Chain A
Amino acid sequence: MAVKVLERRPLSFWERTYLPQILGGLKVTWQNILRPSVTLQYPEERPVIPSGYRGVPTLVRDPNGREKCVSCQLCEFVCPPKAIRITPGEIPAGADTAHVEKAPREFDINMLRCIYCGLCQEVCPEEAIWLQGQYSMVGRTREEMVNNKARLYELGGTLPDSHLKWDHKRDEAGRQAGGHH
């Protein structure tokens, strides 16, 4: 392959002094030194998290305090990095939420595996798992980086629910038992 040699243009007098370039750089420096500071003093200061942010996945309760997860294991199935591990269990017959029948006995999300994709939230038929504003997960051991069921509910809190599907179902069953049809 032929090589084409380009002649470099010789530097002018002012270019040889470097002064215009130094002054140009200093101009940028002085402009910014006089602007108000925009650096966030993390971790003392925290950013405002916009709604819809996909942070750490959490489990939520409905406004009546019922745990919404019924351990259908769809999130465990869809999770690409296999971060979720659920042990399903039965709600005993005498409990307040016995009409739901099923709830997770254990629910672990390994945050060392989680890739914050949000598929678990998307697939959940009960709107029980949400990626919320929490974005910082730290721990000194691998075990600390696995969120268990108690921790997931602590992080998730309560979210509004417009359906209250299971409570509606229970109430309707009660009405029909009273002779409605």
Chain B
Amino acid sequence: MVTDNKPNLVTVNIDGVEHQLPAGANLVDALASVGKEVPHYCYHPKLSVAGNCRMCLVELGSPLRDRATGEVVMENGKPKVGWQPKPAIACASTVTPGLHIRLDSPAVKSCREGVTELLLINHPLDCPICDQAGECKLQEYSAQYGRGYSRYIDEKNAKPKRTRLGPRVTLDDERCILCSRCVRFCNEVAGDPVLGFVNRGSYNTLTCYPGRELANNYSLNTVDICPVGALTSTDFRFRMRVWFLKQTPSVDTESSAGVNTTVWSREGKVHRVTPRRNDAVNETWMADSGRELFKSGESADRLRAARIRGAEADLGAALALAAEILRAGPLAIVGSGHQSLEEQRLLARLAKAAGARTYVPARRGAGDGLLVSEDRTPNFRGALLAGLTDREADRDLAALRAEIETGRVRSLLVCREEVASLGLDAATLAKVRLVTLGTHLDAASAAAEVALPGLTVFERSGHFVNCQFRLQSFLQAIPGPAGARPDAEILGRLLGAVEGRAVAFDAGAVWQELAASQPALAGLAAGRVPAEGVLLDGSAWRHLPFPERKLLKFAAQA
């Protein structure tokens, strides 16, 4: 196996053309890296090899050697290739020096046709009602590698349909092609081995252990990896066809793990959120709890317009009044790990210009050791980088409360935080002139003199820094409520009002200032962050007691 970073490249002959591939690599992945698709159902790069679907059969060969001398046998000036008498599965083969592979020989084609025909014998004609249609491997490979007609005249098998496998997963056994990806996922990744196959032959059926259900917080990953429509998401079931949905790269805001996601939306409405592969963060997985966060953006308590003393108001008037309150001072600011790096920077500049002390509350929860961390904000590291805070996140706001009670703080700006649960009750908030910026109505924004509407992570673009100090970008998938402006614009205008001059709040300008002021971000610019993110140097904050212990791709340093 290759252990160093430089792959040991060897020459491999694919259909008569020589390619350089890393030795020891899985053949399916290695061939995909040079644009050669090997169709497969059961193989998954992040799971163990099962080799049961037989779809990836290819012909393999290697140069013959003379048994007496050990010399390579030559034929017409080229090494003579000894082809294996029968095809082999690519998923269980690795790249070896001098390997010869046939991907489109008549034998390989007939293997794929045969496998496809056998899979389709009992597969129901459910495509019109099947949610997987459009992203179904069986559908794609049947069109690409199948025979095109059926020779089977008997009745198809009947198996249980519309089965509740767990609170979030629905199983249709007729559609199952028995690839065992879901079984392996539950055993190997989720650590909750509840799925298995029962019965034999054509009665072979995926099922849950008696008395158990697929209820772990990673159950929806089985839906993602199911190559057919056997496992479907109960929430997304019959909601919308996938070919209508626009895919936008985003980042999960559930915790500081920074899971990469794809947001699937149509006409300004998010329909589902799925994990996006990032081998350095979440591989191809995501927690179920993070997939439902998009629903809060449509909830009834969403703050859709600016409010002045509880009454809906024009955003311009609200901003003018907010600026007046901030200027009046003395000001304190509550920032948030839910803000993007750009917003945190603008807020830090606002705090500096107004001479305000800043607080970033801690949001803690239990970590699961996989992809949900103890810090339940996506971007506390961003607050450090932006200079919004330089200490551990505040467990409560008792210090701020004392400042307010003693009258040393007379106006307060709260961004994206629900402060009532942190020790600032209504009586305390009544003693300050309060400006809030947030997505939802809560006790503080209802009592605020000015409540400014914020946008959710799906409605704005920006960057988060996860617990590894990995800078990752998220893009706007859907438009925000009519009239609402991005948080960065609101903060930029407030900053401009406090500084008494126009402040550029577009991503380019904010990043220019960020890169100049923060050494860890030097050389970076808006729109230049690659899909896998950029690992930043976080050694300056190593002394801080971060709550994260262990995640799939993160371990706290002792």
Contacts and interface: CB of A to CB of B under 8 A. Distances in A.
Contacts of A71: 238
Contact of A126 (B128, B156, B162, B237): B128
B175 to A, nearest CB: 12
A101 interface: yes
Given A102-B238, A172-B158, A70 B129 contact: yes
Nearest to A174: B158
A88 B238 contact: yes
B420 interface: no
- Give the most central of B155, B157, B243, B244: most A CB within 10 Å: B155
Interface in A129-178: 165, 169, 172-173, 175-177
Interface residues of B, number: 21
Contact of B155 (A74, A172, A177): A172
A36 B237 CA distance: 63
A169 to B, nearest CB: 7
Contacts of B125: 165
A163 to B, nearest CB: 10
A56 to B, nearest CB: 23
A89 to B, nearest CB: 6
A173 B128 contact: no
Interface string B225-259: 00000000000011111011000000000000000
A119 interface: no
A126 B127 CA distance: 11
Given A72-B128, A93-B162, A100-B129, A88 B240 contact: yes
A165 B157 CA distance: 15
B124 interface: yes
A93 to B, nearest CB: 7
B152 to A, nearest CB: 14
B133 interface: yes
A37 B125 CA distance: 55
Contact of A169 (B124, B202, B243): B124
A101 B124 contact: no
Contacts of B237: 90
Contacts of A177: 158
A77 B243 contact: yes
Interface in A102-125: 102, 125
A106 B161 CA distance: 25
Contacts of A176: 155, 157-158
A73 interface: yes
B154 to A, nearest CB: 10
Contacts, number: 50
Interface string B120-138: 0000110111000100000
B238 A89 contact: yes
Nearest to A165: B125
Contact of A70 (B124, B128, B240): B128
A164 to B, nearest CB: 13
Given A72-B128, A72-B129, A73-B244, A101 B156 contact: no
B238 A125 contact: no
Contacts of A165: 125
A102 B241 contact: no
Nearest to B240: A88
Contacts of B124: 169
A88 B271 CA distance: 13
- Give the most central of B161, B241, B244: most A CB within 10 Å: B241
A73 B203 CA distance: 33
Contacts of B202: 181
Contacts of A72: 127-129, 133, 241
A169 B174 CA distance: 12
- Give the most central of B158, B161, B202, B240: most A CB within 10 Å: B158
B128 A125 contact: yes
Interface in A46-80: 70-74, 76-77
Contacts of B127: 72, 125
Contacts of B244: 73, 76-77
Contacts of A181: 202-203
Contacts of A74: 128
Contacts of A99: 161
Nearest to A71: B238
A99 B129 CA distance: 11
Contacts of B158: 169, 172-173, 176-177
A90 B238 contact: yes
A101 B162 CA distance: 8
Contacts of A93: 162
Nearest to A180: B155
B60 to A, nearest CB: 38
Contacts of B243: 77
- Give the most central of B129, B156, B202, B203: most A CB within 10 Å: B129
Interface string A26-51: 00000000000000000000000000
B164 to A, nearest CB: 10
A71 B157 CA distance: 25
A172 B158 CA distance: 7
Contacts of B239: 88
A90 B239 CA distance: 9
A98 to B, nearest CB: 8
B129 A101 contact: yes
Nearest to A74: B128
A70 B124 CA distance: 15
A174 B300 CA distance: 45
Nearest to B241: A73
A176 B158 CA distance: 7
A169 B157 CA distance: 10
Contacts of B157: 176
A173 B174 CA distance: 11
A94 to B, nearest CB: 12
A176 B128 CA distance: 24
B165 to A, nearest CB: 15
Contacts of A169: 124, 158
Contacts of B155: 172, 175-176
Interface of B: 124-125, 127-129, 133, 155-158, 161-162, 202-203, 237-241, 243-244
Q: Nearest 6 A-B pairs (CB), nearest first? A: A173-B158, A72-B128, A102-B129, A176-B158, A73-B241, A88-B238
9 contacts: A89-B238, A90-B237, A101-B129, A102-B238, A125-B128, A169-B158, A172-B155, A176-B158, A181-B203
Interface of A: 70-74, 76-77, 88-90, 93, 99-102, 125-126, 165, 169, 172-173, 175-177, 181
